[in-house]
Structure 1
Amino acid sequence: MTTSARVPGPAGLPLLGSMFDLKRDSLGTYLAARRAHGDVVRFTAGPPGLRMELYAVFSAEGAQQVLATDSANFRKDNAFYQEVRDSFGNGLLTSQDDDYLRQRRLVQPLFTRRRVDGYASAVTDETAGLLDRWATAPGSTVDVVDEMTRLALRAVARILFGTDVEAAVPVVERCFPVIGDYTLRRGYSPVNPPRSWPTPDNRRAASATEELYGVCDRIIEERRAEGDAAKGDDLLGLLARAESSEDGALDSSEIRDQVLVFLLAGHETTATSLAFALHLLARHPEQQSRARAEAVSILAGRTPEAYDLDALPYLTQVLKETMRLYPAAPVIGRRAVADAVVGGHTIPAGADVVVAPWVTQRHPRYWEDPDCFDPDRFAPGTEKDRPRYAWFPFGGGPRACIGQHFSMLESVLALAMILRDYELEAVDQRVPVDAAITLRAKGPARCRLRRV
């Protein structure tokens, strides 16, 4: 295939290029760019002297090349990942090379299917508490974005911290939004003051970071002081005991880095999937009734367990279709090490590159009527007809999300319990979103509840 001398893309403004479009609505800008310019698009953004070039890859085949087949050439070396690294530590999400391989080897045994299935009771206990609270919800109306964020945070914090969950959750709820917004602003800004400068923004973020790090470090040190016999089977205790002859063990700061990444990736992503699954079902009564019938039939009034996951195929389809329309990681960034030919176009060495589940998972080449909510797209036998990377909400290749099974387990079991007990009717028909560190709702997704 021949390569073009110049990758097509929007002209943007004369001095600032596409900077305002990307800042105002990056997801809409990417969708429009694919329609207008194709599957590999070049953006310029920023004033002269600070202008950056960004190459967006929208085809499933291109995403597979960037994330999997040519992954060594596309690294997490861009400015955004550096800001996440500086804020949340050098854990599995942000580490590279030997650091990443060592961490992955030490942490992988904690995420086997058998081990993850053992976390199911934490999820169902927290969901039961949510349902009890809903029984007294004012006006029988709740915002499922807020509710699922709290549910997912409490579940992952309980799995991480065990009996220390009550000490950790308020700190995470208070500090994560401050640190996340700060990281996002810096990640998308062409120029940032050093973090050490005493600007109001830096000081707020430093205070939140100190509080968050402090509670994690305190719990970690208490666990280390308890000795192996008292560490328990929560994820923090398992991290503290993770060791091999080849890789040694994680020290306290490395454990904290993993904990912060698990908190970030483990609750925001699952919360997004659950909230939008409920929102979509509340807007589609026929699919909601079908999902409820499956949950009622399988659970028959009892609390679900891990083995029920395989017996809830339609709920799994609902979650997969939700993740197609509302991927928690809507855009994934990399930086090219060397020149690469993607989709017939040359991406130069050193260029910032993004692949976008938000766009690829709406691509009309792979999805008929792509904006329609249709869980039957994921009925048995249908996925083999699509390219592997037409659907990749968990990323892909050697850096694919280590928590895929946990996310599906938590989401399906919680959704089954909610639908078994409640019928939902959408109050807000549309919920605007934008791309933060993860996909973020910009408004409420309120639902009326009716006890079944």
Structure 2
Amino acid sequence: MSRDLLGTLEEWRQRYGGIVHLRIWPEHQVVVTEPRLVRELLVTQHDAIRRWERGVQVLAQLHGHSVLTAEGEAWRSKRQALQPGFAPKTVHAFVPAISAAADRAFTQWRPDAAPWPIESAFTSLGMDVILRMMFSSEVDANAREAEGAVHTVSVAGNREMFWPASWPDAMPWKRTKRKAMAVLRALIERHLQARLAIEQGAWPQDLLTRLLTLHLINPAAWPLQAVRDECMTAFLAGHETAAATLTWWAWCMAAHPAAQDAVRREVDAVLQGRAPQAHDLPALSSLACTLQETLRLYPAAPVLLSRRSHRPVVLGGWQFPARTMFMVPPGVIHRDACWFPDPQAFRPERFAADAPDIERGAFIPFGTGPRVCVGQHLALAEMTTIAAMFLQRFSVSAPEGMAPPEPVFNISLRPRGALHLLLVRRAA
């Protein structure tokens, strides 16, 4: 499992079906890939499960006690307070900032005959977008340093998930991880202190202001450390999902030129050369289908954080005692031929308005149930806006003889090697 988690889970699904019991002493672990049972677990019986203690412990090393790691009433209170900042109406107000970041980035891209570092470029753009939405700031040298730090802590965190306990970060051999965490914490702290140094009436309307307002209203429930924790989670999750998905989407477009051409025609027809606005996004339906299909093949979170039952659970006729561990892997469910015929193929038409309905629980790139990703609307709006502007400016293809990139799971799903693709700038 530590060498190839997704491949191992897929092998077990094919051999044993949609619910598989593992005995990993001292735990009983159940892998659930049957969509009906996934919904039963995460939606109907959500109040019987909690997130895996070890997984939360690893994530909390950097995220602290944020909405990502909190449980019970603490989680409900945080989620309720944060939800308005990620509602569709609020997200639409961010589209101009997303467009501005994309325009700035694409103007600076200088593709030539050599393959372009598309993964790194989209990661930098994703950071610029989240910095604008969180801090009303633009990406700079310090933020770019964070790109490497995010990769370092992701690899280290994924590795520690397979350990029963972690050595303290002060250990000499953890120096690289320690430095990476310091870079990310310093980035958050700089923006927090800069905001506190100016008059409240001059604060811009962004995520940090929303969080600091909660702090001012109720400092006991929202101390400054809680603000720092939520900023860290928003920064990491806010750019990683979009950057990873856009990277895989660019590969899908490069590998399927006919689909790329069809979506570009839609973009040109809808936008007529201008930047997308919030009201344009629903009209880009074919583009949305390519992004959905990308999320099916390469979900940014291919394995949801495991859950533990705190009381007996009945699932699909099986009775599981309290303290049973449950694992739900969207990366396996999404490639099941029972729900997606020819599952390895890139077929955006699966998500068209006139396509057959997809089994509920079979497509869950952002999770499902009460703990569905709070930022899903923001991620989809960001990815649609950036993808549309990308197609307005570039054609993308794979270098001759290039093999498909191999997905690697390190908290999120990324190519094993840095992805480089050929870009040609379109005529103005």
User: Which of the five TM-score ranges fits, normalised by the shorter chain?
Assistant: over 0.9
CA distance in 2, matches of 1:140, 1:310: 35
Match of residue 143 from structure 1: 117
Q: 8 Å contact 2:22–2:29 — kept in the other structure? A: yes
Match of residue 370 from structure 1: 343
Shift of 1:236: 1.1
Shift of 1:386: 2.5
Q: 8 Å contact 2:215–2:224 — kept in the other structure? A: no
Tell me, yes or no, if structure 1 residue 43 matches structure 2 residue 22: yes
Tell me, yes or no, if structure 1 residue 125 matches structure 2 residue 97: no
SS at match of 1:398: coil
Tell me, yes or no, if structure 1 residue 447 matches structure 2 residue 421: yes
For residues 210-229 of structure 1, the aligned pairs below 5 Å read 210-229=182-201
Match of residue 376 from structure 2: 404
Between 1:285-294 and 1:88-97, the stretch displaced more is 88-97
CA distance in 1, matches of 2:286, 2:249: 12
SS at match of 2:22: strand
Residues 228, 164 of structure 1: CA spacing in aligned structure 2 closer, same or farther, 3 A cutoff? farther
- C-alpha deviations, 1:206-247, integer Å up to 9, x for none? 333233223322321331232321211122122211369789
TM-score with structure 1 setting the length? 0.88
**Equivalent of 2:224 in 236, 247, 252:** 252
CA distance in 2, matches of 1:158, 1:142: 25
Match of residue 237 from structure 1: 209
Tell me, yes or no, if structure 1 residue 352 matches structure 2 residue 331: no
What RMSD, in angstroms, separates the aligned Cα atoms of the two structures? 2.1
CA distance in 2, matches of 1:355, 1:302: 41
Residues 190, 156 of structure 1: CA spacing in aligned structure 2 closer, same or farther, 3 A cutoff? same
% same residue: 30
Match of residue 334 from structure 2: 361
Residue 5 of structure 2 aligns with an amino acid whose one-letter code is: S
Residue 308 of structure 1 aligns with an amino acid whose one-letter code is: D
CA distance in 2, matches of 1:103, 1:167: 32
**Equivalent of 1:418 in 380, 387, 390:** 390
CA distance in 2, matches of 1:204, 1:270: 26
Q: 8 Å contact 1:220–1:252 — kept in the other structure? A: no
Match of residue 320 from structure 1: 292
Tell me, yes or no, if structure 1 residue 296 matches structure 2 residue 283: no
Residues 214, 444 of structure 1: CA spacing in aligned structure 2 closer, same or farther, 3 A cutoff? closer
Match of residue 54 from structure 1: 29
Gapped regions of structure 2 (runs ≥ 5): none
For residues 46-195 of structure 1, the aligned pairs below 5 Å read 52-134=27-109, 136-163=110-137, 165-166=139-140, 169-195=143-169
Residue 313 of structure 2 aligns with an amino acid whose one-letter code is: A
CA distance in 1, matches of 2:411, 2:65: 16
Shift of 1:167: 6.6
Residues 379, 105 of structure 1: CA spacing in aligned structure 2 closer, same or farther, 3 A cutoff? same
Shift of 1:444: 3.2
CA distance in 1, matches of 2:7, 2:390: 32
Tell me, yes or no, if structure 1 residue 269 matches structure 2 residue 248: no
Match of residue 18 from structure 1: none
